[in-house]
A = this chain, B = another copy of it.
Amino acid sequence: MNKVSVAFIGMGYRGKQLFRLLRNIPFFQILAVADPGMEPSELPDISCYNHGENSSLEMLEKHHPELVFIASPWQYHVQHALLCVEHGCHVALEVKGGLCLDEYAPLIESAERRGCHVYPLENTLFTRENLAVLNMVNEGLLGEIIFMRGGYRHDLRRLLLDDAGNIGNREKTESVWRGKYYLEENGDLYPTHGLAPLCMIAGINRKDRIKYLTSFSSKSAGMLQRIKELGGNTDVKVCMGDVIVTQLETEGGIIISLVHDTTLPRPRSLDFEIQGTKGIWQGDRRSIYIEGISPDEEWEDDRSYISNYNHFYWCRWGQEALKLDRHHSGMDYVMLKALEADLKNQILFPITLKDLALWTSITPWSKISIREKRTICLLD
Interface membership of A147, Cβ < 8 A: yes
Across the interface, A264 reaches (CB within 8 A) one of B217, B276, B297, namely: B276
Interface membership of A94, Cβ < 8 A: no
Question: In the complex, are the beta carbons of B217 and A214 less than 8 A apart?
Answer: no
Which residues of chain A from 201 to 256 have any CB-CB distance to chain B below 8 Å in the complex? Answer: 212, 214, 216-219, 221-222, 225, 241-243, 245, 247, 249, 252-255
| Least CB distance, A57 to chain B, in whole angstroms | 41
A256-272, CB under 8 A of B: which get 1 and which 0?
01000100111110000
Interface membership of A146, Cβ < 8 A: yes
How many Å lie between the Cα of A77 and that of B191 in the bound state?
45
Across the interface, A146 reaches (CB within 8 A) one of B143, B214, B242, B374, namely: B242
Interface membership of A134, Cβ < 8 A: no
Question: In the complex, are the beta carbons of B144 and A298 less than 8 A apart?
Answer: no
How many Å lie between the Cα of A147 and that of B261 in the bound state?
10
Across the interface, A279 reaches (CB within 8 A) one of B253, B265, B290, namely: B265
Select from chain B the residue with minimum beta-carbon distance to A296.
B267
Given known contacts A217-B255, A252-B219, A297-B155, A275 and B264 CB-to-CB distance under 8 angstroms: yes
Interface membership of A352, Cβ < 8 A: no
| Least CB distance, A316 to chain B, in whole angstroms | 32
